[in-house]
Structure 1
Amino acid sequence: MSDLLQLSAPWWHFVLRAVIVYALVMVLIRASGKRAVGQFTPFDLVLLILIGNAVQNGLNGGDNSLLGAALLASCLIGLNYLVAFVVARHPQARALVEGQPVVLARDGKVFRDVLRRELVSNGDFLEAMRETGCSEIEKIRLATLETNGRISILLADEA
């Protein structure tokens, strides 16, 4: 029973591991692009499960104690809160963590090269048009890939 609370390493090893793994996963998710984060598909769910499994041993270092799990969970939640706190108060940090919106179309012209670079399929773009109630590309004043992966479309004023 006592081994449930017995850590296999000093407490600060767990904190250091949590910080390193959190930063690594954040960088990898950020590098995967806005569309990968914004469009949650079954493949993304599988990827998240596998990433969680892949980094598990890096986090706990083979420790299976309840205290170790509580320490790691607390540290990860604290790191997430800290990142959200900093991002909410510093525009430079927000740009670094979340990226910048990208213009996909302007004044009825769709930038196909930007769609390809941002991994936005034509079907995803057409779906965003339908959700906005836009039936023709020519009616688009501005289409933007937001930092959360959603496509927002502003329509030209119909006079």
Structure 2
Amino acid sequence: MKDVLNEVETYLAIIFRTTVIYLVIWFLFRMMGKREVGELSVLDLVVSIMIGDIAVLSFEDLEKPFVRQTIPMFVLAFLQMTLALISLKSVRFRNFMDGKPQIIINQGKIDEKAMRKQRYNFDDLLTQLREQGISDLNVVKFAILETSGKLSVIKSAQEERSESVETPYPLIIDGEIQEANLDKIGKNHFWLRYQLKKMGETNIKEISICGYIDGQFYIDKNETKK
């Protein structure tokens, strides 16, 4: 009978702690401000993960005082709100904590140095452009990688033309010919090299990305490899 009572007491303690921790986390995140998951800064993400870990630890040892286990959560929330307030007042501190938006495409030209600095590759770029319904790199005037990891795109004026519905095919990515995409359009690398040669492009290794859509090429060269 005593074992049964102990078991019931343990379950009641777990239910109580779960309820309280849920309310505590809800309160803390309300105090920290509303943001979508994709818009969390590095600081927000770190605090969120740590609060979650602390919450899990509070269930591992039910013998420890519950209040003592929730104190670190309030401390983290207080630190986050304090640092967020400082960030509002100081641009320099905000840039230090969250980083700065990085221009990836400037006036239609891809900045490979900026991409390397952000550890951002061409597959990431193409994926995020496709997510915004952009299949032709020629229509992109500016692309800015925000501190949240989201890509903001400003289209060029001549984008007024109808957007192509054909599938874009990257034929060269970071100096490497994409044979699979050449097969999809029924071409080979000899055809590609010939087309590039007609456009004055003789060194494939200097090409960051070469796209092909609607019979038109988009070529961006890697200035750092010249």
Q: TM-score, normalised by structure 1?
A: 0.56
- Against the structure 1 CA distance between its residues 149 and 124, is the aligned structure 2 distance closer, same or farther, given a 3 Å change threshold? same
The secondary structure found in structure 2 opposite 1:147 is coil
> What are the within-5 Å matches in structure 2 for residues 6-17 of structure 1?
none
Aligned to 2:90: 90
After superposition, give the CA deviation of every residue in 1:2-36 in whole Å (9 maximum; x if it has no partner).
Answer: xxxxxxxxxxxxxxxxxxxxxxxxxxxxxxxxxxx
Question: Do structure 1's residue 69 and structure 2's residue 69 form an aligned pair?
Answer: yes
The question of whether the paired residues in 2 share the 8 Å contact of 1:142 and 1:153 is answered with yes
User: What is the aligned partner in structure 2 of residue 107 from structure 1?
Assistant: 107
Structure 1 outlier segments of 4+, above 4 Å: 37-40
* Structure with the larger RCO, 1 or 2 (CA within 8 Å, 6+ apart): 1
Partner of 1:141: 141
- The aligned length equals 109
C-alpha distance in 2 between matches for 1:90 and 1:139: 36
TM-score, normalised by the number of residues in structure 2: 0.41
Cα deviation digits, residues 36-56 of structure 1 (max 9, x gap):
x9699xxxxxxx979x76xx9
CA distance in 2, matches of 1:113, 1:38: 25
Q: CA deviation at 1:117?
A: 2.5
- TM-fit CA distance, 1:65: 2.9
Residue of structure 2 in register with 1:122 after alignment: 122
Q: Report percent identity of matched pairs.
A: 23
In structure 2, list runs of 5 or more residues that go unmatched. Answer: 1-36, 41-47, 58-62, 159-226
Paired amino acid for 1:118: Q
Aligned to 2:8: none
Q: Which structure has the bigger radius of gyration?
A: 2
Aligned counterparts of 1:120 and 1:38: Cα–Cα separation in 2: 17
